[in-house]
Amino acid sequence: MSATRSLVVASNNAGKLREFRELLEPLAWEVTSQAEHGISAVEETGLTFVENALLKARAACLGSGLPALADDSGLAVTALGGAPGIYSARYSGAQGDDRISNDRANNDKLLKALADVPEGQRGAHYHCVLVYMRHAEDPVPIIVQGSWPGEILSLPRGEGGFGYDPLFWVPEQGLSVAELSSELKNRISHRGRALAALLEQLER
């Protein structure tokens, strides 16, 4: 694989961008965000993670002229029938520019939704779909998925991460995601697993 690749990440989420840059750093790829190319966030009209990731990747390719990597990910809670799912980032309806406030509102709504669900019945998965598209008309984009099982806590723990990380308990680590080091999170997370699968595909 070439030591220098240019790639635009189809996301304005600072947390995701940081994770992607850390995960791709060993490969010496030049990673830019869609904002650096003046590309606005695309409307996520898909009904699945795959559909939304495809929409985002194609828009980033069109706007940048570069290969694009798009992520659509979220939290699926078993007791809530898979919610918040594709609506994870906007679960509470908060759409402001303050990511911390939005995350807090989403976490608050999730805790209320699970208020009557006892411990042991609060299983959940983080899901991530990655789409790598070489150009906007790529007929065979690479699509990979990663998932990460855990449980939802009744109170937030930890200061790291973003999104639902303070509420997502990883039993084998005995910690919430927000308490994990970024290195460990990148290695074992849904996004890390999906990216490992993507790199395996690219190397073929």
Is pLDDT of 203 > 80? no
* Residue extents of the structural domains in the chain: 6-203
Is pLDDT of 22 > 70? yes
Model pTM greater than 0.85? yes
Give the model's confidence band at 2: pLDDT under 50 very low, under 70 low, under 90 confident, else very high. very low
Is pLDDT of 23 > 50? yes
Catalytic residue among 72, 98, 108, 116: 72
Confirm or deny that 20 is annotated as ligand binding: no
- The mean of the pLDDT values for the chain is 92
Is pLDDT of 147 > 70? yes
Percentage of the chain beyond pLDDT 70 is 96
Query: 72 an active-site residue?
Result: yes
Q: What separation in angstroms does the CA of 12 have from each of 34, 63, 71, 106, 113?
A: 7, 14, 11, 18, 28
- Measuring CA to CA, which residue among 1, 4, 34, 3 is closest to residue 16? 34
More confident residue, 202 or 36: 36
Mean pLDDT of 171-178: 97
Domain 6-203 belongs in CATH node 3.30.230.10: no
Percentage of the chain beyond pLDDT 90 is 77
Confirm or deny that 191 is annotated as ligand binding: yes
Is pLDDT of 43 > 60? yes
- Measuring CA to CA, which residue among 27, 10, 15, 14 is closest to residue 160? 15
Confirm or deny that 165 is annotated as ligand binding: yes
More confident residue, 24 or 133: 133
DSSP the chain: --S--EEEE----HHHHHHHHHHHGGGT-EEEEGGGGTPPPPP---SSHHHHHHHHHHHHHHHHSS-EEEEEEEEEEGGGTT-BGGGGGGTT---SS-HHHHHHHHHHHHHHHTTTPPTTS-EEEEEEEEEEESSTT-SS-EEEEEEEEEEE-SS---S-SSTTGGGEEETTTTEEGGGS-HHHHHHHSHHHHHHHHHHHHHH-
72-89 pLDDT, tens per residue? 999 999 999 999 999 999
Confirm or deny that 36 is annotated as ligand binding: no
